[in-house]
Amino acid sequence: HGVWPDNKSVVLNNCKNEVLKTSLKDPIKKTELDKRWPQLRYEKIDGIEKQDLWEKEFLKHGSCSINRYKQEAYFDLAMKIKDRFDLLGTLRNQGIIPGSTYELDDIERAIKTVSIEVPSLKCIQKPLGNVELTEIGI
């Protein structure tokens, strides 16, 4: 969910102490961002106007790259990367469909068709011993 800057050894978080309020104004840009990074806590229109998720992620991660990517450029980069990798489409093209069970090696192999690096897969333990993939990092 977004772009996480790093310094080649660790992901950077919470780099700026001052409040950097998210204030995207362009309605087209907000709609495009919502297509790729929806704010699921609210109805679509409210999410686009409140921008809570985008603000949280920008404060946590975007603030670490503020010298290189101002707010709008940070979100443009996030959308460009999401479009480039299209992980859900990649998984579907490799026969991996959400809601079914797969080996982690199969998921990694599928993602490596669009990424050189082995992806970082984050899973959570569900009831009855099931494991659910919740995040893919490239």
Which domain CATH number covers 21? 3.90.730.10
Catalytic residue among 18, 43, 61, 117, which? Answer: 61
Total domains in the fold of the chain: 2
Rounded Cα–Cα distance for residues 81 and 75 (Å): 10
Q: For residue 20, what pLDDT is reported?
A: 62
25 and 54 part of one domain: yes
Could you tell me if 14 and 73 lie in one domain?
yes
Q: How much is the pLDDT for 48?
A: 82
Q: Are 33 and 47 in contact (CB under 8 A)?
A: no
Residues 80 and 38 placed together within one structural domain of the fold: yes
- Concerning whether 57 is annotated as a catalytic residue, the answer is yes
- 88 φ, ψ to 5°? -65, -45
18 an active-site residue?
no
> Which pLDDT value is given to residue 16?
72
Contacts with 102 (C-beta within 8 Å, 6 or more apart), sequence order: 96
Instruction: Say what the pTM is.
Output: 0.77
Residue pair 126/132 in contact by the 8 Å Cβ criterion: yes
Q: Of 42, 59, 84, which residue is a domain's last?
A: 84
Out of 43, 49, 55, 57, which one is annotated catalytic? 57
Enclosing domain of residue 94: 87-137
Low-confidence stretches of the chain (pLDDT beneath 50) = none
Q: Which of 1, 49, 132, 135 is catalytic?
A: 1
pLDDT at site 96: 95
Residue-level pLDDT at 51: 82
